Amino acid sequence: MDGTLSGRFARGLALAPDRPALRADGVEVTYRELHERALVLAGSLLAGLPGRPGAVGVLAGKGPTAYAALLAGLYSGVTVVPLQPAFPAARTRQMIEAAGVGALLADDDALPALTALHADGVGLPALFAPGGQPMPVLTVDTDSALKAPMPARPADTAYVLFTSGSTGRPKGV
């Protein structure tokens, strides 16, 4: 039995591929649709970079795009770092640096944050970013879709969440 987060999603996919995997912002997405979207995003991410990043940041609102991006990060076999578009750029930069984020998966909600991060000296490749954004753009390419999620072991780091703790400086857990 695959005890990874993506393995748990795969069990839901196998049991009920056409049942809703999520409902957010008035949108319902099936397991199959979410799986296929994540395979495209993960493959596009890996194809667009010179090497596999140590971590990928998901800079997105709390809608369906964020869930597809999180699953894509897991499917790509790298550590996923959820980032809040509403956080100050300096705080987000600290999280990106601490986690070793090498690329971003972003959505429309992230455009102001991408602009602020760029002004704060961050210039990471960004996939799924809106047009006209300041970061180097990675292209979503259906021909680059993964056939299956990259293998992961239960001992691999799936994601890093940040907390401010008592010092106000982000700490990853």
State residue 165's pLDDT score.
Answer: 60
* Model-wide pTM > 0.85: yes
Q: How many domains does the chain have?
A: 1
What CATH number should be reported for the domain holding residue 151? 3.40.50.12780
Domain ranges, residue 11:
5-172
Nearby residues of 141 by Cβ (< 8 Å), 6 or more positions away: 40, 43, 44, 47, 48
Task: Write out the chain's pLDDT in tens, 173 residues.
Answer: 577 888 889 999 999 999 999 998 888 999 999 999 999 999 999 999 999 898 999 999 888 888 999 999 999 999 999 999 999 999 999 999 999 999 999 988 888 999 999 999 999 999 976 666 788 888 899 999 999 999 887 778 888 888 876 666 777 77
Identify which of 29, 111, 102 has the alpha carbon closest to the alpha carbon of residue 71.
29
- CB-CB contact of 70 with 58 (8 Å): yes
